[in-house]
Structure 1
Amino acid sequence: MLAGAALNQRSRSYTDWLLLAGFCGFLFFWGLGYFGLIGADEPRYAQVAREMLERRNWITPFLDGKPWLEKPVLYYWEAMLVYSVAGVSDWAARVPSALNATLMSIAVYLFLRRFRPAFQLDGALMTASAAGVIGFARAASMDMPLAAMFTIALLGWYGWYESGAKRYLALFYVSLGLATLAKGPVAPFLAAAIIIIFAVTATHLILVVRTFWIPGIVLFCAITLPWYIAVQIKNPEFFRVFVLQHNLARFGTDLYQHKESFWYYVPVLLLGLIPWTVFVAAALLESIRAWWSERKQSFQPENALTVFLVTWLIVPGVFFSFSQSKLPGYMLPALPAGTLLLAEYIRRRVLMADPRPDYLLVICHSIVAAFPLIPALMLNYIPLQHRLPWGSALAISSALAAALAIAMVVTLRTQLGLGMLRFVTLIPVVLSLAAVLRNAAPTLDATLSARPLVNQIDRMENKRLPIAGFRLSQETEYGLEFYRNQIIARYNWGQIPFGEHLVVAPSGLQSAIAEKVADRRVLYLGTFAPQGLDYYWVGAKGSH
């Protein structure tokens, strides 16, 4: 019997790994290049990594041939390694985030298997399939490397707290060092805040002192200090630009025009946890209610993980709510705490032989989980019409979402209940992502990325002329730079190339361009209609 049990356990482990690998491959890697880099950050970060690789410079980030010191280096290093193997492309620029998201999901699985066995696959798949995780796992940015390393660090710390094994504390310091290379001092600051608040709540303040482990601090410094010292030596302005402007000033002022309301991160967190939002909220409220009712009693060690996860979930949102610059990615490190809290909630309910959730909870969850399928199926219309289309397409997608929601309600109210939560909830996740990538990707590419614009220009122009922009958005400027691999001259800043060149501008600005280059000829070449952009040739009169 023991041999049979061991065989079953091994078989389940193989199945878990296959499912986790399959879902991570689909959620994070499939179709990474179906649409081009979007926004200002994706093409900018991708181009910085390319310029560093071309210079063989692993210390100073460069953009437009000049040092660009706004962010630390971990993402750039990862992208450079991928570029070295797979070549420079938008797909390759997104691979580091996908790999980090996969690593984070694996870490959640291993943590739960070691410390809360039986529902490790639930926790890993719920983490991988949260909307915020999927979105940032498919983006060329620093946010996912930070979130992954931060998550592994905190899981390592809690592993040390529960087991006393120093290898987990070493993992904490190593991962925290990498998180600091991903996005700077915010990682150790948030980790310290979470650990201190947990120690206070657990009435075990000695934890804070014990966390200061000399070998771990040496590991942290060995990982972080070499690059920070080297970049400061080579670029004396680094401290001012990175620390003073892009950390302190970003937090304390609206210098970068990202001001939002104090409560901004409440909807960001709720949206980022879709499709698990309803049950995470239920798990959070139950945990807070239990803690409040037992607050006058001595701290119960069996509740330690729940208290730690609640602290981890709440602290980043509270901290960044006081920041004058707010962006959605700032909440990404908190999302794994929510899905881990839900996995622990499911484990407790199943162990208590109470796996059937309330009707209202199930109905709300099913609606939240199934509803995204409607805009996912309609997404190829929205960028062009700026609304959901009425008619048969909307009716069919709504009917499909409603059918899925009803099926989820019926399934979750059976005796299996929460034991089926991950399976039934992943169905609309898979369908929604497939719809976005297969149906809407061409529309997203045409309306949000510079890639099709550059492809159209390249088909008309084979001389690889210098290129300029006039009254363009940052998104378009950085996109042109990445896909042309050229520095974009900005007419707005008086950067008008001396010789023959191309210029891209919003439609209808030919006369304004002609005024900028009064002594030269401006020839209209074409229009990229999806983004309302025209492109022109500018050269000496009598040429072309």
Structure 2
Amino acid sequence: MQQRWIIVTLLCLILFFFQLGSLPLMDPDEPVYAQTAKEMLAAGDWLSPRIFGEVWFDKPPMYYWLVAGVTMLLGPTEWAARLPAAAMALGTVWLVYAFMKNRFGSASAAASAVVLATSLEFFYLAKGAVTDSTLTFFLTACLLAYWEKRIMLAYVLAALATLTKGPVGLLFPGAILLLELLSRGDWRGFIKLQLPKGLLVYAAVALPWYIAMYAVHGQVFVDTFLGMHNVTRFTSAEHDVSNVWTYFVPVLILGFFPWVTLLPQTVWLAWKEAQYERRTLRFLLLWAAFIFIFFTIAKTKLVSYILPMFPPLAMLVGWRLSRLWVQPVKQRAWAIACGALHGLLGAGLVYGQALMPALAWGAFLAAGILLVTGAGASWQIWRGGYQRAWVTLAAGASAFLLTLVLVLLPLAAPQFTAKEIAEDFKANYDGASSVYVIKFLRPGFVYYTDASTEEVGTTLFHNKVDTRAVLQQMVSRQERAYFVLRLSDYRLLSEAEQKKLTVLSTRYEVLLLLKEGTL
């Protein structure tokens, strides 16, 4: 039994930690977290997150603290920025394994852990310097602690989730547990929540940072953090293109690949037919459903938001797989869906490489892995070899994910990072002139240069700045200045204004420009 845990752990170490620091930080999100931790360390201020020399109220401090701690040991590197996310992802897989082992046995535990670790979105966010893996770890630990009747520990973990991403740290587990109790009509269950004592424990852990921030920064902290970055994100769309109710359907299909093809029957059977541990299965269903519905209702939608539903989905699919191993039934629909989805994604990669020729050989390699995996797994499912199919899917997914890390992402990364243009800037900068950087590129540019910059860009939630007018005003200043712009931003200027700027470097569609003037 211990051997299965070791294999799962080794798989996670390879997937999550291998080449973790090999890619530059990707704009715009990763550099924000890395730069904020870097500036908190430089200022010696562990209370107030800050970026570009100003206090930053976007997120609570947990991930910044973790990155700052690692940075103290390793220095400001890509590895340091991403290590906490990878460690939290590994911790989440361990939680899933331990919970399923206690409830359904080691076979279900291994199946669930591998399903989670090899899911595309979980893997991707495990290797990204963003908060989602950390939030998912604390929420998963909180809900599973409650289910194992460690009530006070659950409140502590909810508080840590609140220090990671705000009120959702309490709202999500509270709402999920409330729905679970209501679904069973278990009114006495509310007594077992020990709300008075539990909320005191929660407040003792979660509130000191919030109280201290209010004491130092006053009402602006409440208005910006709770108002704009929580309430407004829920009620207003930050990005209009994502404000459609079907947004998370393709996100789930791709993000939970390759296991999503088994999900429909798993959900149905877990709700309708499961007799043993029926309450646990319904709890997992309610957990996943609440996360999905909540963010579907929310106006602002990002791909990473539904990550907290992946652990319960993985546990449900792991449960279903382990049942098929001992009670095999025909799975023709799963076989067809599995082969079709692998084939579609493989074809998509082949088609997509024509749009980005630099990725051609990597895309063909990844497509080949998908097609071989899909064909092999579908054939085994059709013949009833479900354990072999699970191994094939897990091995194929692992090979595909490693191909992304070793081949495709290194080829694509220069188009999504400010690192290369930052290196060009350092080679050309005179050390004194003003530096103007478009908003999208500014966090990464500052992280890699430590330069003092002024931002050109837009604000959140439709309070848009006229980028063209701002650029025109900056170009008209009587000073020597450097500009870092995307080609689309540069084209907003008139021909006469463009002539005032000398192109020093071009990296894909990012330009380093110099406007001569008086030093």
TM-score range, shorter chain: 0.7 to 0.9
Which of the numbers 484, 500, 514 marks the counterpart of 1:504? 484
Question: Is the 1:369–1:428 contact (alpha carbons within 8 Å) kept by the matching residues of 2?
Answer: no
Question: Is the 1:527–1:535 contact (alpha carbons within 8 Å) kept by the matching residues of 2?
Answer: yes
**CA offsets 1:516-543 (integer angstroms, 9 cap, x no match):** 799xx75432322x22x332333436x8
Matching of residues 204-283 of structure 1 within 5 Å: 204-236=186-218, 237-254=220-237, 257=240, 259-283=242-266
| Aligned mates of 1:534, 1:63 — CA distance in 2 | 23
Q: Any idea what SS the aligned residue of 1:282 has? A: helix
Matching of residues 72-111 of structure 1 within 5 Å: 72-111=60-99
Which consecutive residues of structure 2, in runs of 5 or more, have no partner in the other structure? 457-466
2:291 is aligned to 316
Question: Is the 2:335–2:379 contact (alpha carbons within 8 Å) kept by the matching residues of 1?
Answer: no
Q: Any idea what SS the aligned residue of 2:232 has? A: helix
| Aligned mates of 2:262, 2:492 — CA distance in 1 | 58
**CA offsets 1:56-102 (integer angstroms, 9 cap, x no match):** 11111111111110211111011101111111022221111111101
Could you tell me how far 1:376 is from its partner in structure 2? 6.4
Matching of residues 117-156 of structure 1 within 5 Å: 117-118=105-106, 119-156=108-145
1:441 is aligned to 409
> Is residue 524 from structure 1 mapped to residue 512 from structure 2 by the alignment?
no
2:444 is aligned to 479
CA 368–446 in structure 1, closer or farther in 2 if over 3 Å, else same: same
When the two structures are superposed, what TM-score results if normalisation uses the length of structure 2?
0.87
Q: Any idea what SS the aligned residue of 1:537 has? A: strand
Matching of residues 167-186 of structure 1 within 5 Å: 168-186=150-168
Question: Is the 1:466–1:486 contact (alpha carbons within 8 Å) kept by the matching residues of 2?
Answer: no
Matching of residues 28-67 of structure 1 within 5 Å: 28-67=16-55
CA 465–362 in structure 1, closer or farther in 2 if over 3 Å, else same: farther
Could you tell me how far 1:148 is from its partner in structure 2? 1.1
> Is residue 344 from structure 1 mapped to residue 311 from structure 2 by the alignment?
no
When the two structures are superposed, what TM-score results if normalisation uses the length of structure 1?
0.84
What is the identity, as a one-letter code, of the residue corresponding to 1:363? I
Question: Is the 1:377–1:397 contact (alpha carbons within 8 Å) kept by the matching residues of 2?
Answer: no
| Aligned mates of 1:26, 1:326 — CA distance in 2 | 30
Question: Is the 2:377–2:390 contact (alpha carbons within 8 Å) kept by the matching residues of 1?
Answer: no
| Aligned mates of 1:216, 1:268 — CA distance in 2 | 35
What is the identity, as a one-letter code, of the residue corresponding to 2:290? V
Question: Is the 1:465–1:500 contact (alpha carbons within 8 Å) kept by the matching residues of 2?
Answer: no
CA 444–466 in structure 1, closer or farther in 2 if over 3 Å, else same: farther
| Aligned mates of 2:69, 2:79 — CA distance in 1 | 13
CA 378–457 in structure 1, closer or farther in 2 if over 3 Å, else same: farther
| Aligned mates of 1:418, 1:22 — CA distance in 2 | 23
Mean CA deviation greater in 340-349 or 88-97: 340-349
Question: Is the 1:376–1:435 contact (alpha carbons within 8 Å) kept by the matching residues of 2?
Answer: no
1:360 is aligned to 333
CA 455–513 in structure 1, closer or farther in 2 if over 3 Å, else same: farther
| Aligned mates of 2:511, 2:364 — CA distance in 1 | 37
| Aligned mates of 1:331, 1:308 — CA distance in 2 | 17
> Is residue 384 from structure 1 mapped to residue 332 from structure 2 by the alignment?
no
2:459 is aligned to none
**CA offsets 1:413-440 (integer angstroms, 9 cap, x no match):** 556x333343211122122122222222
Could you tell me how far 1:357 is from its partner in structure 2? 4.4
Which of the numbers 365, 374, 397 marks the counterpart of 1:429? 397
| Aligned mates of 2:71, 2:354 — CA distance in 1 | 34
Question: Is the 1:450–1:476 contact (alpha carbons within 8 Å) kept by the matching residues of 2?
Answer: yes
Identity of aligned residues (%): 22
| Aligned mates of 1:213, 1:82 — CA distance in 2 | 36
Mean CA deviation greater in 51-60 or 364-373: 364-373
Question: Is the 1:510–1:522 contact (alpha carbons within 8 Å) kept by the matching residues of 2?
Answer: no
> Is residue 461 from structure 1 mapped to residue 428 from structure 2 by the alignment?
yes
Could you tell me how far 1:375 is from its partner in structure 2? 5.8
Q: Any idea what SS the aligned residue of 1:504 has? A: strand
CA 155–258 in structure 1, closer or farther in 2 if over 3 Å, else same: farther
Q: Any idea what SS the aligned residue of 1:540 has? A: coil
Could you tell me how far 1:467 is from its partner in structure 2? 5.6
Q: Any idea what SS the aligned residue of 1:98 has? A: helix
Mean CA deviation greater in 507-516 or 206-215: 507-516
CA 222–453 in structure 1, closer or farther in 2 if over 3 Å, else same: same
**CA offsets 1:171-225 (integer angstroms, 9 cap, x no match):** 3112111111111111211212111111122221221332135443333222101
Which of the numbers 301, 304, 308 marks the counterpart of 1:329? 304
CA 376–233 in structure 1, closer or farther in 2 if over 3 Å, else same: farther
| Aligned mates of 1:464, 1:19 — CA distance in 2 | 52
Question: Is the 2:20–2:79 contact (alpha carbons within 8 Å) kept by the matching residues of 1?
Answer: yes
CA 256–226 in structure 1, closer or farther in 2 if over 3 Å, else same: farther
What is the identity, as a one-letter code, of the residue corresponding to 2:370? A
CA 401–327 in structure 1, closer or farther in 2 if over 3 Å, else same: closer
What is the identity, as a one-letter code, of the residue corresponding to 1:171? L
> Is residue 410 from structure 1 mapped to residue 379 from structure 2 by the alignment?
yes
Question: Is the 1:157–1:172 contact (alpha carbons within 8 Å) kept by the matching residues of 2?
Answer: yes
| Aligned mates of 1:355, 1:368 — CA distance in 2 | 23
CA 517–429 in structure 1, closer or farther in 2 if over 3 Å, else same: closer
1:5 is aligned to none
RMSD: 3.0
CA 511–140 in structure 1, closer or farther in 2 if over 3 Å, else same: closer
Question: Is the 2:271–2:281 contact (alpha carbons within 8 Å) kept by the matching residues of 1?
Answer: no
1:286 is aligned to 269
| Aligned mates of 2:17, 2:517 — CA distance in 1 | 47
| Aligned mates of 1:507, 1:105 — CA distance in 2 | 42
Question: Is the 1:156–1:171 contact (alpha carbons within 8 Å) kept by the matching residues of 2?
Answer: yes
